Structure 1
């Protein structure tokens, strides 16, 4: 998936906006994930260990996304 496709899929204005949203998620949102996730079918309860693993996994995914969104220097 290229930067423009990522931006379109997450509803960002362009790849730069998508990169900003991703940096915000990495800096603020991931660490705020607790032991319950809201789903379309109700809350999904996690153990503290599972929530930590989920945060780690999301961090890796979003770091890879950010690498695709930021121009190579």
Structure 2
């Protein structure tokens, strides 16, 4: 189970991405996913944090790269 601190930090990233993206959902996903990757790049176990972040629209870097190549 994730700590309150980790869940709160993810919520802060969500809020910031939401404000910064204005009304663009795609931009929100991009901003949130990039900020998440920077913040949690050394967190272990990463898969648990990613699973929680996906509820807010997180997309992994490899998935973002695949989407951009179409």
Same fold flag (TM > 0.5):
no
Q: What TM-score, normalized by structure 1, do the two folds share? A: 0.34
Pair member with larger Rg: 1
Q: What TM-score, normalized by structure 2, do the two folds share? A: 0.35
Greater fraction helix: 2
Greater fraction strand: 1
